[in-house]
Structure 1
Amino acid sequence: MSSCYSTQTFNYNEAAHIGALFTILFTSFAGTSLPVVAKRYPSLRIPSFALDAGRAFGTGVVIATGFVHMLPPAITNLSNQCLPYFFTNTYNSLGAAVALAAALSIQLLEMSSTVILNRMISKRNIQQPTDNCEIPSNLQSLSTDKVTTAVPLLDQSSYETTIATASGYKLKMLVIIFEMGVAFHSVIIGLNLGVSTGSTFRTLFAALVFHQFFEGFAIGTTVSEAQFGIWITVFMILCYSLETPIGISIGMGIANSYQENSTASLITRGILDGVSGGILIYTGLVELLTYWFTRNSHFVNRNSLYIFSIIGFVWLGAICMSIIGAWA
């Protein structure tokens, strides 16, 4: 048990870690920016298949990150033998329970927001006819039944517009939830890289370069589709780009005194991994995979070859990220 409180002693290569920090910063920024630039500047003529394939690959990366990279360490950290009896014997599935709670909480948040938004829309649609109760002069000569037939046609257009508004709000909320899940996870993996050395550092660094680019591509795709203003879009890109470098900086700062198996470290990392895993699993399966592909009428009405080729990239992203899970 003495290993639970021992600090690491090693030859720390600070220059390599600084180089890794800026490399991952650039990679994260490039992956997130690419779909946003492609959406805002159609003149670049990036093939739609390439964008859909990148989106699908990124979706697979996100799902695999939740299942393979976040859930197992959450369970392992919160059942580590260095923790009190409750964690090791009484309830050693706490990591999975945290992930479950996070996923259900995100669903509750999304559902509550949708219910409130729908009630606001219904209230607006009910009140709207009373705001325009004056009958136009060209309709005053018509019979009452003809007038009442004409008015709902005007309301229907407004109703369809508010449904489109609801969809836009939901997509914006999806992006915010997605960013929340990724934020915890990005800081944690950055911290792990910041305190690692030797072959572990080199392997983890290579895995994170790949991971950050394609996860960033998935985020950039959702941000571009949500049609935020330019400054909010830039802010979200910068947030994702800086999260892992911030984690690396923290890791570099505490590397000489970091106790990986201390009670505080294990519980903190386990809870954050569990929360991140639950959010990423829910977001990847329910929001990204379902929203972009399973129930996207524009996508499912394409020809079969196109559909299954794109879904193949979802699998490819998940497989590649699962393989990387052997090292990161």
Structure 2
Amino acid sequence: GAGETWCPVPTAPDRFLRVASAHEPTNAECHRMAKKAPNLTHFPICAPAFTTSLTTRSAHQLTTTMAEETCCGCVTLDGDTEYDMGLHIGSIFIIFVVSAAGTMIPIISQKIPQCKANSIIMEAISAFAYGVVMATGLIHMINEGIEKLSNECLGSVVENYESLGLAFVLITLVLMHFIECESSVFFGAQGSMLHGHGHAHGEITAQEAVITPADRETPKPTENPYHENAVDQNEQNSKIRRKIATLIFEAGVVFHSVIIGLDLGVTTGSEFKTLLAALCFHQFFEGIAIGSSALSSLESTSKLFMVNFIFAITTPIGQVIGIGIRSTYSDSSTTSLWVQGILNCVAGGILLYTGLVELLTYNMTTNGQFLSRQTAQRFALYISLWLGAGLMALIGKWA
């Protein structure tokens, strides 16, 4: 009748909510009025009001118009009608087991005689992990972060600067370079102080060299204790750098794992099963990368298992959070878009830097041991690298 407006119910195309309105309400007004209606709770999409009667516009036409509208901040779940709580609870344990299994692959492989340290098999597993790291950073994190930070629900910020996501990635890369350089300087200086009286002894040795008889034999570098200390110091710095890289890598993965766990926790319907299957492969391959990185940098068994456990438990924690907030969570709210977008771009930047610099450059590009391998072995490692990157990129179609 006059002064009445029909708002379609998103979860039931054949049902419409009749509201009294002297003018055509906006999306937000329509959504607020719909929420006040009895027996109606959450609406995944807010459609504009329709002043025409149902006899002149079909339910299909109204539903199509709804799908074309963007609702910022709308809840994506219609109560618990499509939510399989048992399956969601079970998926928590599935993801944990799969993640933990991935981290154990490098550890178990090292126990096999043919897979001892520096063997071609262990190197192939590591190369596969390098590819996983880079693809995860680019395809799964940076790409998703850019998508979140390009959402029109963020308003004028997105319109004024379209490269917002890439800007956060760039900031992360620059900061990663700064942290690595200054960490090397700091821990190098600390190591020099801890490893003896290097500078003072160096000066005394130089002065003594002036008054030393010419016929005295010059000590060989291998016989010089200070040369040995320098070698030990370089090895110590290398170990510290690898530990720092592992911890930073772990931090980036943890950020991402919480987000994907939360997304899985609020996902429902047939999409949930598809996402769960994709995340099982995602977590397994990422677990191999975490386990391989930790194994090469952490000497303590307890620390190794702690790093692996933290990775394995992080996504399930995100799932628990998602299950808890499923009825109020909106992935299109401004807060959600900012948080997920920034975290994904930062985590992706960390993994991209880690993959290209810490892993590829130090372990392959400038590594004499790798470059001195036989051609067949080098190409086997290249293929492992490409396989890891390719499989992880493929999984990005679903997760």
TM-score exceeds 0.5: yes
- 1:255 and 2:326 matched: yes
Aligned residue in 1 for 2:218: 149
Whether the aligned pair in 1 keeps the contact of 2:285 and 2:392 (CA below 8 Å) is no
User: Is 1:237 aligned to 2:305, yes or no?
Assistant: no
8 Å CA contact 1:61, 1:211 repeated in 2 = no
Name the SS for the 1:114 alignment partner: helix
- Per-residue CA deviations over 1:18-63 (Å, capped at 9, x if unaligned) read 2221111111111112213444x4x554373332222222211111
User: C-alpha separation between the residues in 2 aligned to 1:78 and 1:146?
Assistant: 73
In structure 1, the partner of 2:253 is: 182
Q: Deviations over 1:287-307 (max 9, x none)?
A: 112222222222221111111
Residue of structure 2 equivalent to 1:4: 72
Q: Does 1:202 align with 2:265?
A: no
Give the Cα separation in 1 of the matches to 2:301 and 2:213.
49
Structure 1 segment 1-328 matched on structure 2, within 5 A: 2=46, 3-7=71-75, 8-9=77-78, 10-39=81-110, 41=111, 44-46=113-115, 48-87=119-158, 89-121=159-191, 127-128=197-198, 130=200, 144=213, 149-150=218-219, 153-328=224-399
Contact residue 77 and residue 269 of structure 1 kept, 8 A: yes
Kindly state the Cα deviation for residue 131 of structure 1 after the two structures are TM-superposed: 6.5
Q: CA deviation at 1:6?
A: 1.8
| Relative contact order higher in (CA < 8 Å, ≥ 6 apart) | 1
- Aligned to 2:183, the other structure's residue is in SS state helix
For 1:279, the aligned partner's letter is: I
| Deviates most, 179-188 or 46-55 | 46-55
Deviations 1:186-210 (A, max 9, x none): 1111111111122221121111111
Cα drift, residue 164 of structure 1: 0.8
- Asked if structure 1 preserves the Cα contact closer than 8 Å seen for 2:95 and 2:315, the reply is yes
- What displacement does 1:213 show? 1.2
Between stretches 2-11 and 257-266, larger displacement belongs to: 2-11
Following superposition, which runs of at least 4 residues in structure 1 exceed 4 angstroms of deviation?
Answer: 121-126, 129-135, 143-148
Deviation, structure 1 residue 308: 0.9
Greater percentage in helix? 1
Q: Which entry has the higher C-alpha Rg, 1 or 2?
A: 2
Are 2:281 and 2:395, in contact at CA under 8 Å, matched by a contact in 1? no
- Please report how far the alpha carbon of residue 150 of structure 1 lies from its aligned counterpart in structure 2 after TM superposition: 3.6
Q: Answer yes or no: is the 8 Å Cα contact 2:144–2:341 preserved in 1.
A: yes
**How many pairs are equivalent?**
319
Contact 1:78 1:267 (8 Å CA) reproduced: yes
* TM-score using structure 1 length: 0.89
Q: Report if the CA contact (8 A) 2:129-2:292 is conserved.
A: no
SS at match of 2:150: coil
- Separation in structure 2 between the aligned mates of residue 149 and residue 127 of structure 1, nearest angstrom: 22
The RMSD of aligned alpha carbons is 2.6
Specify whether residues 134 and 122 from structure 1 end up closer, same or farther in structure 2 by C-alpha distance, changes over 3 A only: closer
Aligned with 2:218: secondary structure?
A: helix
Unaligned stretches of 5+ residues in structure 2: 1-26, 28-45, 47-70, 206-211
Question: Residues 220 and 264 (structure 1 numbering): CA distance in 2 closer, same or farther, change over 3 Å?
Answer: same
User: Identity over the aligned pairs, expressed in percent?
Assistant: 39
Matched position secondary structure for 1:82:
helix
Q: Residues 50 and 126 from structure 1, CA distance in 2 versus in 1: closer, same or farther, beyond 3 angstroms?
A: closer
Q: Tell me, what secondary structure is at the counterpart of 1:255?
A: coil
Q: When the two structures are superposed, what TM-score results if normalisation uses the length of structure 2?
A: 0.74
